[in-house]
């Protein structure tokens, strides 16, 4: 039987375990990426491993999230990251050089390689034919130190593309269509592998838009073949030598197949507050718009921004709309500056932001109260924009540009001829903002500002676990709910005691105080607990506050791994109905926890003292995870092995 492309690449990297769906395997990681918001923790953890130089083929540390520098904290983090990178053999992409995923795609992603990144949108590089997976910072630190990355072999779902996108319909609509069909849980435990005739009609950056936002389905990653278009893009980036042809076998068998006819697609929109709430744009035509933002790692490539500039050229942004553009990389920005498109954007009334994540992670540009904000981004979780009452809609650059002109949602197809965008034969190649590491790392001194606090030691897993339910939340709770970001909180990413004060603040401002007063306890959640961002602070900060276990109907992949990495029990209701009978404040007790973990008995009974009843939970663990939980987390586990 023929093999899928994902299987071929994964098999070539398996170093432990048998490659069989559902089995845990350890894979070798060729490349890593970190960004500053998760990277400071990853670097602190890497430093604590006392490995002098990274053991990967390539590791890059990007600064793109925390670039506002409203105080000394962000700036201190940057210098810390720069010095760690130099000392330990990591390339350092300076603030202003661009968003990690866009820059990685341009300068480093290679077909057939494995990439592990401490950011959930790492699968962007799947557009280049890499197996690119998002993970918690600690997993990435382990990979930098030469360790394997462990994952359950996912199902491989083939997405068969046919036809060609009509004018004014773009790659964003392809992935919105996938989200419309499968929703925000539909990709859990799966890889989406694209194939079929339609693949040829999409360029690498367009493919990357699709693989980027595949993260919103909960998928492990998404991947496109490496073909002539891949070669073409690499050539324009001066990296033709990195090209290899990679395809699934013609008789490859997928676990499932989803078919998308590109020709039949129309402009789509994800409505508030979920990337999975997708409807046809025409249903919302006429809705007044207050803010339009173009950028983020989903849609900030040269072509995305050129389309917007061409639509706006010689026109003016509507008086009601605040219109902003954040180019994905310095390369994109310089191209636009030199070819005149930047002037067209400025002339139309655009506010130009730095090449960084910016408003996508709530670093500035919070919309007005009750605003309607149209964004080319990938996430519209409630409050993520910085304004809780704002309604954020996710759209393509084409739709965004037309809304900026008209001041309301309107079908871009009504604007007439679709502007053609030609890619430059050679992109401007200037890697001077990517600093190479020192040749002799030993001499480099790591610079630590007062905001950079060491991670505390955590004890091993107790046998008896007691505590109250500190909070009960519903389905699809995101890591943005658990550990919000934004201009106020993001600068605290390297200061665990300080950031912990903000756990669950969007949901219940008194959570941290209550958790501390009660000496920790439990969190009760619904389905898909911890979807979205890879931020390990959503596990680490609750751990710091004494959270011992999360009892949920199901968990998102990266978050579950982060919980285990930091020694928090991920408990799943054996009978989902028990979720109903448990309330905030209930006193819970579990005994024999160590024994259950070491005997890998999947089932545990929880006694609800308040209700005087017991219910069952499942603790599904591989042997490695069991070892980690017993030790009180991955870090303790590594220390024990030394
Ligand atoms: C996000 O888009 O939510 C982030 C910010 O990039 C996160 C990482 C983080 O929280 O630092 C992600 O996607 O993993
Ligand atoms: Fe940055 Fe937004 Fe992309 Fe996350 S989703 S990496 S915050 S641009």
Query: Is 467 strand, coil or helix?
Result: strand
Task: Give the pLDDT confidence of 519-535 residue by residue, as tens digits.
Answer: 999 999 999 999 999 99
161 lies in the same domain as 37 = yes
| Contacts (Cβ under 8 Å, ≥6 apart) of 583 | 469, 472, 610
Q: Torsion-angle region of residue 324: left (phi > 0), alpha (psi -120 to 50) or beta?
A: beta
| Residues 100 and 204 both lie in one domain | yes
Q: Does 586 map to a domain?
A: yes
Catalytic site residue from 65, 468, 481, 537: 65
Q: Are residues 282 and 163 in the same domain?
A: no
Residue 445 lies in a domain: no
Question: Do 63 and 105 fall into the same domain?
Answer: yes
Q: Is residue 483, in this structure, part of any structural domain at all?
A: yes
Based on the domain organization, do 30 and 100 belong to the same domain?
A: yes
pLDDT of residue 448: 96
Do 277 and 230 reside in the same domain of the chain? Answer: no
Are residues 250 and 273 located together in one domain of the fold? no
Judged by its nearest atom, the ligand closest to the C-alpha of residue 36 is: 1
pTM over 0.95? The answer is yes
Mean pLDDT to the nearest integer, 229-233: 98
The answer to whether 61 is a known catalytic residue is no
Whether the CB of 59 sits within 6 Å of ligand 1: no
Q: Which of 222, 248, 264 is the last residue of a domain?
A: 264
221 and 363 together in one domain: no
Atom of ligand 1 nearest to the CA of 483: 10
Query: 378, 398, 413 — which closes off a domain?
Result: 413
481 lines ligand 1 (CB under 6 A): no
Domain boundary among 369, 398, 413: 413
* Structural domain boundaries, residue 557: 465-487+494-641
Residues 249 and 299 in one domain: no
Same domain, 259 and 293: no
CATH number, domain of 49, equals: 3.30.499.10
**201 in the same domain as 280:** no
Query: Which residue puts its alpha carbon closest to atom 3 of ligand 1?
Result: 533
Does residue 300 have its Cβ closer than 6 Å to ligand 1? Answer: no
Cβ pair 46, 178 in contact under 8 A? no
Q: How many helices (H) and strands (E) does the chain have?
A: 22, 27
Are the beta carbons of 179 and 270 closer than 8 angstroms? yes
Is residue 642's pLDDT more than 70? no
Number of domains in the chain: 3
pLDDT tens-digit map of 565-575: 999 999 999 99
Instruction: Identify the pLDDT of residue 252.
Output: 97
Pseudo-torsion of CA 98, 100, 103, 107, nearest 10°?
140
Indicate whether 155 pLDDT > 90. yes
> pLDDT tens-digit profile of 443-484?
999 999 998 998 899 999 999 999 999 999 999 999 999 999
Assess whether the C-beta atom of 38 lies below 6 angstroms from ligand 2.
Answer: no
Domain co-membership, 49 together with 198: yes
**Between 137-144 and 634-641, two packed helices, what is the crossing angle to 10 degrees?**
30
Spell out the alpha helix ranges (H) of 313-433: 330-339, 341-348, 397-406
Q: Is the pLDDT of residue 601 over 80?
A: no
């Amino acid at each position: 039987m023929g093999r899928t492309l994902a299987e071929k690449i994964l098999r070539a990297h398996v170093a432990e375990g048998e490659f069989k769906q559902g089995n845990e395997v350890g894979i070798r990681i060729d490349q890593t990426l970190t960004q500053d918001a998760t990277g400071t923790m990853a670097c602190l953890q890497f430093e604590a491993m006392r490995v002098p130089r990274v053991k990967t083929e390539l590791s890059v540390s990007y600064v793109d999230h925390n670039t506002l520098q409203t105080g000394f904290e962000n700036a201190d983090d940057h210098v810390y990251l720069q010095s760690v990178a130099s000392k330990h053999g990591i390339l350092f992409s300076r603030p202003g050089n661009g968003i990690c995923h866009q820059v990685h795609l341009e300068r480093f992603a290679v077909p057939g390689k494995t990439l592990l990144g401490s950011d959930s949108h790492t699968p962007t590089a799947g557009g280049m034919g890499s197996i690119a997976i998002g993970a918690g910072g600690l997993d990435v630190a382990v990979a930098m130190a030469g360790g394997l990355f462990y994952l359950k072999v996912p199902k491989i779902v083939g997405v068969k593309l046919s036809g060609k996108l009509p004018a004014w319909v773009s790659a964003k609509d392809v992935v919105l269509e996938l989200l419309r069909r499968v929703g925000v849980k539909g990709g859990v435990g799966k890889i989406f592998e694209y194939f079929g005739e339609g693949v040829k009609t999409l360029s690498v950056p367009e493919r990357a838009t699709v693989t980027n936002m595949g993260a919103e389905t909960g998928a492990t990653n998404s991947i496109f073949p490496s073909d002539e278009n891949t070669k073409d893009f690499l050539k324009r980036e001066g990296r033709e030598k990195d090209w290899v042809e990679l395809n699934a076998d013609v008789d490859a068998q997928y676990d499932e197949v989803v078919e998308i006819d590109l020709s039949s697609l129309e402009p789509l929109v994800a409505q508030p507050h979920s990337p999975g709430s997708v409807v046809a744009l025409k249903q919302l035509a006429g809705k007044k718009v207050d803010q339009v933002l173009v950028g983020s790692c989903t849609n900030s490539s040269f072509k995305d921004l050129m389309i917007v500039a061409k639509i706006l050229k010689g026109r003016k942004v509507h008086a009601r709309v605040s219109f902003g553009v954040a180019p994905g990389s310095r390369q994109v920005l310089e191209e636009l500056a030199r070819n005149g498109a930047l002037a067209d954007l400025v002339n139309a009334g655009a506010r130009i932001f730095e090449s960084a994540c910016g408003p996508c992670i709530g670093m500035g540009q919070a919309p007005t109260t009750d605003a309607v904000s149209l964004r080319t981004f990938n996430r519209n979780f409630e409050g993520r924009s910085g304004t809780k009452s704002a309604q954020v809609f996710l759209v393509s650059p084409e739709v965004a540009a037309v809304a900026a002109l008209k001041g309301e949602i309107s079908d871009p197809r009504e604007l007439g001829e679709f502007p053609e965008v030609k890619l430059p034969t050679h992109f401007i190649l200037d890697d001077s903002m990517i600093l190479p590491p020192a040749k002799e790392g030993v001499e480099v001194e790591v610079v630590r500002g007062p905001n950079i606090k060491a991670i505390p030691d955590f004890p091993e897993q107790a046998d008896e676990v007691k505590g109250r339910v500190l909070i009960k939340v519903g389905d699809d709770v995101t890591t943005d709910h658990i550990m919000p970001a934004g201009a106020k909180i993001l600068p605290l990413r390297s200061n665990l005691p300080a950031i912990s004060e903000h756990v669950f603040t969007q949901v219940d401002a008194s959570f941290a105080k209550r958790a501390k007063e009660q000496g920790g306890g439990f969190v009760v959640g619904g389905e898909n607990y911890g979807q979205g961002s890879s931020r390990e602070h959503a596990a680490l900060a609750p751990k710091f506050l004494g959270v011992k276990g999360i009892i949920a109907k199901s968990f998102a992949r990266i978050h579950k791994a982060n919980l285990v990495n930091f020694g928090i029990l991920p408990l799943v209701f054996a009978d989902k109905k028990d979720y109903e009978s448990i309330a905030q404040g209930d006193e819970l007790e579990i005994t024999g926890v160590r024994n259950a973990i070491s005997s890998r008995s999947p089932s545990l009974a929880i006694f609800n003292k308040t209700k005087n009843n017991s219910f069952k939970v499942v603790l599904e663990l591989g042997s490695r995870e069991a070892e980690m939980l017993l030790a009180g987390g991955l870090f303790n586990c590594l220390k024990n092995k030394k």
